[in-house]
Structure formats: structure tokens, C-alpha cells
């Protein structure tokens, strides 16, 4: 497993939007891809335009699995 930092700028307008996305991401990672990806932690960033962004730290078997997780999680 390799360590990855993923920056998602301006992804969400409200904390509720972010919480919903986090729940979906956790479900996909824990239930569908647990042998390939593991979430470590996330940092929430308030962007200059007021939206919320994140910096997420993951362990994953490859960069392709990080991309696959993002696609599955929407």
C-alpha cells in the first residue's frame, strides 16, 4: 500500500453536502474496496469563494484504485 494525498478544491457548498459525500465515500471504501483502499484522515478547507474543499489522506494499492474509488463514490 502506498500513501496518497488527494486535494478536492471547491467540492461542496454546505457542510451537509460534504457529510453526504463522506458517507458515500466511506461506504464504497469499506464495503466495496476494502482490500485496495483505506481512508486515513481528511482536512476540510474553506475556499476563498466560501465553498468547502478537502485534503484527504489514503492508503491504496495504486493510483488507479484511488481513481476508481472516486468514480464509484461520485
For 27-63, write each residue's pLDDT tens digit: 999 999 999 999 999 999 999 999 999 999 999 999 9
55 Cβ contact partners less than 8 Å away, ≥ 6 residues apart: 5, 6, 7, 8, 42, 43, 45
CA-based torsion, 65, 67, 71, 74: positive or negative: positive
Q: Which of 40, 32, 31 is nearest to 60 (CA)?
A: 40
> CA quadruple 37, 63, 52, 41: dihedral positive or negative?
positive
pTM for the model stands at 0.86
Amino acid at each position: 500500500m502506498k500513501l496518497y494525498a488527494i486535494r478536492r478544491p471547491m467540492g461542496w457548498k454546505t457542510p451537509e453536502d460534504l457529510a453526504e459525500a463522506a458517507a458515500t465515500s466511506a461506504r464504497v471504501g469499506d464495503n466495496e474496496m476494502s482490500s485496495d483502499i483505506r481512508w486515513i484522515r481528511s482536512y476540510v478547507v474553506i475556499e476563498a469563494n466560501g465553498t468547502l474543499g478537502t485534503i484527504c489522506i489514503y492508503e491504496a494499492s495504486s493510483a488507479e484504485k484511488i481513481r476508481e474509488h472516486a468514480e464509484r463514490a461520485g
